[in-house]
Amino acid sequence: MLRRRFTPLFGTAPAFIRSLSGKAAEKPNILWIIAEDNGPQWNCYGYKGVETPNIDRLAGEGARFQHAHSTGPVCSASRSAFNVGLYQTTTGTHLHRSHRKDGYRLPEGARLVSHRLRDAGYFTANVREFASGLRGTGKTDFNFTAEKPFDGTHWNQRAAGQPFFAQVNFQATHKGPAFSEARKLPNLVDPHKVELPPYWPDHPVVRDEYANYLDCVQLLDRQVGALLDVMKKDGALDNTVIFFFGDNGRCLIRGKQWCYDAGTHVPLLVKWPGMVKPGTVRHDPAILLDVTATTLAAAGVEIPSWFHGRPLFGSGAQPRDSVVTARDRCDMTVDRIRCVRDARYSYIRNFMPEKPYTQHNDYISKQYPTLGVMKQLHAQGKLNAAQSLFMAARKPDVEFYDMQSDPHEVRNLASDPKYAKLVAQYSARLDKWLAETKDRGGEPVLPDDSN
């Protein structure tokens, strides 16, 4: 058992900013549909190269958040945050696939959202098979030890009249078997018609990898549609608040594992009958910790004053002007990056600029064929300026992008005198966040102990 290296972060008698009451029978069911490694490449988000009728319908029935982000660009760090409601950098769970063997516990006061809901009378489920041949992965991927995170594996295991909190985790957009399964679908995405970001070379392998990811988006849409159909037949959608979101951004080069928009920008849809007007579009920045806070508010559970998440709706809603994302060690690759972004600008601080973007990572080397193409073309001197950025021998200390004119973040404005004042403002925001959240990214790096 690892001894805690710090005193309680939150005190022994925390104050609460909101308290709701209600009998268990009056409380809504709550459903989290979580897509692994999924960015907002959906028709409802304006991406025209895919057919996603089920997710598009869900968006039309609730609210669509245009600027939602995960707290980090990799699954275990992100999940260790949104399942708790605190940044992973605060709870010491920021290193990808760490604390798997040492019995590490969350700091005093920090708890799983499922535990808080269980105490409020909810049946909690991490759904596995929900119909013949249809299943969720049951993924948790916490960088800490938790006793019995969920009560069961299906909403039908609850007591009569008991409200449920269910997570259904889908792996369709995660590199692996689904990428082969998706190629069997009708109406595959045409690689020749996909619009490549400027930081990738126009190459058949690159086009094929991106099109295959988009095929997986279409596969995921079918799976979500099947889930909702089954739940409707079971009567399990009655009085249910639905959240759909990605655990981090898309699993492609310069996406997953990086604090660029493609690495943390995720879809976030919320259907909440009676609370959220159908067809609502929100442009204020949101972080997945806000899903946690909104879930507790919907269930009538007190939200601790020290929570990093905020309710997205109702009297307790506090729209954000910006969010912070964080990347630390991923697998064997050690790095530390922090990003402050809002609806327009992105400020990135590279704490280890001497480490190149392309330092070795087994997962990326094996799963991202685009990287191999880029290395080959770079050696041949065939990459343009935007494509060569990722191949640089070192990273800039600071990166600053105007997402309005440069949505793919390829024109670094950090040294442009015209933006000096803005860069200083965003730098100050990050310094304040580092202090207020007690960011632990500067501590010694633990090894990957997932094997």
* Neighbouring C-beta atoms of residue 232, cutoff 10 Å: 12
Task: Identify whether 428 is part of a domain.
Answer: yes
Place of tokens 């399964």: 181
The pLDDT assigned to 11 comes to 42
Asked whether residue 375 is domain-assigned, the answer is yes
User: Is the domain of 225 the same as that of 361?
Assistant: no
Contact yes or no for 272/266 (Cβ under 8 A) = no
Q: Do residues 205 and 68 both lie within one domain?
A: yes
Structural domain contains residue 138: yes
Q: Is residue 239 part of a domain?
A: yes
Query: Is residue 90 within 8 Å of residue 438, measured between CB atoms?
Result: yes
HSE of 151, CA atoms in CB hemisphere, 13 A: 22
Q: Are residues 104 and 58 in the same domain?
A: yes
Question: Is there a contact between 58 and 409 (Cβ–Cβ < 8 Å)?
Answer: no
Last-in-domain residue among 295, 321, 347? 321
- State whether 262 and 389 are in the same domain: no
Longest dimension (CA), the chain: 68
- Among 4, 142, 137, smallest CA distance to 77 is for 142
**Buried b / exposed e along 11-37 (16+ C-beta atoms within 10 A):** eeeeeebbebeeeeeebbbbbbbbbbb
Please check whether residues 199 and 255 belong to one and the same domain. yes
Kindly give the confidence (pLDDT) of every residue in the chain, 451 residues in length, as a single tens digit, with 9 standing for 90 and above.
Answer: 333 333 344 443 332 233 333 344 489 999 999 999 999 999 999 999 899 999 999 999 999 999 999 999 999 999 999 999 999 999 999 999 999 999 999 999 999 999 999 999 999 999 999 988 889 999 999 999 999 999 999 999 999 999 999 999 999 999 999 999 999 999 999 999 999 999 999 999 999 999 999 999 999 999 999 999 999 999 999 899 999 999 999 999 999 999 999 999 999 999 999 999 999 999 999 999 999 999 999 999 999 999 999 999 998 898 999 999 999 999 999 999 999 999 999 999 999 999 999 999 999 999 999 999 999 999 999 999 999 999 999 999 999 999 999 999 999 999 999 999 999 999 999 999 999 999 999 999 988 887 6
Alpha-carbon span 279 to 80, nearest angstrom: 31
Residues 292 and 146 in one domain: yes
Domain extent, residue 128, equals 26-321
Q: Are residues 317 and 408 in the same domain?
A: no
**Distance, CA of 178 to CA of 243 (rounded, Å):** 23
Structure-block tokens of residue 109? 């006061």
In this structure, the answer to whether residues 72 and 211 fall within a common structural domain is yes
3-state SS class at 442 = coil
Which residues fall within 8 angstroms of residue 160, CB to CB, at 6 or more apart? none
Per-residue confidence (pLDDT) for residue 26, from 0 to 100: 81
Per-residue model confidence (pLDDT) at position 451: 64
Distance (Å, whole) CA 30 – CA 165: 5
pLDDT at 22: 39
Structural domain contains residue 442: no
- Nearest to 201, CA basis, from 406, 431, 25, 372: 372
Q: Which pLDDT score, from 0 to 100, does residue 20 have?
A: 37
Residue 450 inside a domain? The answer is no
The secondary element (H helix, E strand) that includes residue 207 is helix 204-234
Please answer whether residues 40 and 266 qualify as being in contact, where contact means their C-beta atoms are separated by less than 8 angstroms: yes
Residue ending a domain, among 287, 321, 355, is 321
Overall number of domains in the chain? 2
Residue 13 falls inside a structural domain:
no
Amino acid letter at 111?
R
**Coil, strand, or helix at residue 118?**
helix
The domain that holds 216 is classified in CATH as 3.40.720.10
- For residues 45 and 154, membership in a common domain is answered with yes
Say if residue 307 is in the same domain as residue 341. no
Contacts 24+ apart (CB under 8 A), 115-119: 115/146, 115/149, 116/296, 116/301, 117/30, 117/165, 117/295, 117/296, 117/299, 117/301, 118/151, 119/301
| Residues 284 and 356 reside in one and the same domain | no
- Class of residue 215 by CB neighbours under 10 A (exposed 0-12, middle 13-18, buried 19+): buried
Q: Domain check: are 271 and 139 in the same one?
A: yes
Cα dihedral 82, 88, 91, 93 sign: positive
Asked if the structure places residue 7 within a domain, the reply is no
Instruction: Identify the domain boundary among 321, 349, 377.
Output: 321
